[in-house]
């Protein structure tokens, strides 16, 4: 049996499964670099799982919609992947929205 490559997983897996696979295969490789910090795949996976536990404790379950209203910042990927680990649907709201637009 051949090992699935990244293109195979893109066609068959979820986004959360892609992170999980990359964290297992290349834990020390960089996922992203922000001005104030960077993430390896393992660090992002660990922080996303912590967010998943926190969201679950607040009652978020698979199929729920989780709205995020955050700028492009280092805090966003763990929240995003944490919700995806639960099977929730992430609704990213524009951080520049005004009250009346929401």
Q: What Å distances lie between residue 9 and 6, 19, 87, CA to CA?
A: 5, 11, 17
pTM of the model: 0.84
Q: pLDDT in tens for each of the 102 residues of the chain?
A: 555 555 555 556 899 999 999 999 999 999 999 999 999 999 999 999 999 999 999 999 999 999 999 988 999 999 999 999 999 999 999 988 888 988
Q: Alpha-carbon distance 102 to 93, whole Å?
A: 9
Contact assessment for residue 82 and residue 48, using Cβ atoms and an 8 Å cutoff: yes
Residues linked to residue 89 through DSSP beta bridges, in sequence order? 65
State the pLDDT at residue 62. 97
């Amino acid at each position: 049996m051949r090992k699935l490559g990244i293109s195979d997983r893109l066609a068959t897996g979820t986004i959360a499964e892609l992170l999980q696979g990359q964290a297992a295969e290349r834990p020390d490789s960089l996922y992203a670099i922000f001005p104030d910090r960077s993430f390896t795949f393992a660090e992002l996976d660990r922080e996303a799982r912590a967010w998943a536990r926190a969201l679950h404790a607040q009652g978020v379950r698979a199929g729920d919609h989780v709205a995020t209203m955050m700028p492009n910042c280092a805090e966003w990927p763990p929240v995003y992947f944490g919700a995806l680990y639960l099977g929730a649907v992430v609704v990213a709201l524009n951080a520049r929205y005004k009250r009346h637009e929401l």
